[in-house]
Amino acid sequence: MPPEPAALSAPRASHAASMPAAWRSALTSLGLAALALMLLGAREWGEMAHQWWNIDTYNHLLLMPMIIGWLVWLKAGELATITPRAFWPGLLLVIVALGLWGVGRASGINLLAHAGAVGMVQGAVVAVLGLRAALLIGLPLALGVFLVPFGDEIIPPLQVITADIAIVLTHASGVPAKIDSIHIDTPAGLFIVAEACSGVKFLVAMVALGVLVSFTRFASWQRRTVFMAACIIVPILANGVRAWATIYVAQFIGAERATGLDHIVYGWVFFAIIVAALLGAGWRFVEREPEEYGWRAAELERRGLIARAEKGALAPCGAALAIIAVAVIAALAAIL
């Protein structure tokens, strides 16, 4: 016979009961504070979600909330050994982000408004859970930056760089060509390095992946720096090679067929090959497992500066109430 509903819910209930009461209270407080801030910036969160889902440059950001959650989960054991304490200077982070959001909304600069909306929630985590907890989950907290869609600002220079690489390789391969900014004229036709061909989608995704890998798999700053540099330089060079390959193939099969083939190969094959090559090259240099990233609670315990910063800390619910009050005041000010 099927198990009773009560039996099915027992493991879930016992798991919830195993969470320390202090953490249950702190997470509830944080949830309420974050909800208030997200309601305040609902327009910006809606715009960001629209870009994640509908603009292919930012489709990879749909994975970011899951990655952040996974990284926090890896630190669950360490977090359970500490008691969350409100860190009142964290309220300054919320207020600064609130100001950035206000400036962005008033000026119509979406990048600023989006960054402010995300920054308010990041500041709330620091304020409500405390400095010690924020340091333990510093990596996923910082990765929240990648929730902000950015990259359009660098499309024009990337177009020029791609065209410059392509023309050098085109001449080297024996194909006569002339270049005028982002226009490359060849016997097979005129090629334009359009915005979609700038490689910004590839570059932005690789930077996000590079940060994740650098701080979960490498311990030394030297290796992190080298890997991050590769995640920036290789995609730019690879995109130039892709543009040249399209031009070169077009000399034999025609510009229209070559362009169609380029979109298929670049979208489904070329990107995967470059990612696999970078990860494969870095694999032999990994220094730790992902769950070993960041600080340990025992390390933070030995740092007197953190203990002094926590003196006089109040309950997380106090910080949450202050944040909710700030959000309400900001909302009223926006209405009036």
Q: What's the mean pLDDT in 265-291?
A: 86
Confidence band, pLDDT 50/70/90 cuts, at residue 262: low
Distance CA 38, CA 94 (A): 12
pLDDT score of 148 more than 70 = yes
Confidence band, pLDDT 50/70/90 cuts, at residue 152: confident
Of residues 81 and 305, more confidence is placed in: 81
Vertex 77 angle, CA 135 and 146, to 5°: 45
Q: What are phi and psi of 81, to 5 degrees?
A: -85, -5
From 86, 216, 204, select the one nearest 145 (Cα to Cα).
204
Cβ atoms within 10 Å, residue 122: 21
Is 226 in contact with 146 (CB distance < 8 Å)? no
Scan for tokens 């990041």, then name that residue. Answer: 122
pLDDT score of 305 more than 50 = yes
Distance CA 121, CA 42 (A): 12
**Average pLDDT score over the chain:** 88
Distance CA 106, CA 100 (A): 10
Q: What's the mean pLDDT in 247-254?
A: 83
pLDDT tens for each residue of 108-137? 999 999 999 999 999 999 999 999 999 999
Range with the largest mean pLDDT of 3-7, 50-54, 310-314: 50-54
Confidence band, pLDDT 50/70/90 cuts, at residue 106: very high
pLDDT score of 40 more than 70 = yes
Of residues 313 and 135, more confidence is placed in: 135
pLDDT tens for each residue of 164-197? 999 999 999 999 999 999 999 989 888 888 887 8
Confidence band, pLDDT 50/70/90 cuts, at residue 218: very high
State residue 268's pLDDT score: 63
**Which amino acid is it at 85?**
R
pTM of the model: 0.86
pLDDT above 90 covers what percent of the chain? 64
Is 306 in contact with 132 (CB distance < 8 Å)? yes
From 15, 11, 13, 14, select the one nearest 3 (Cα to Cα).
11
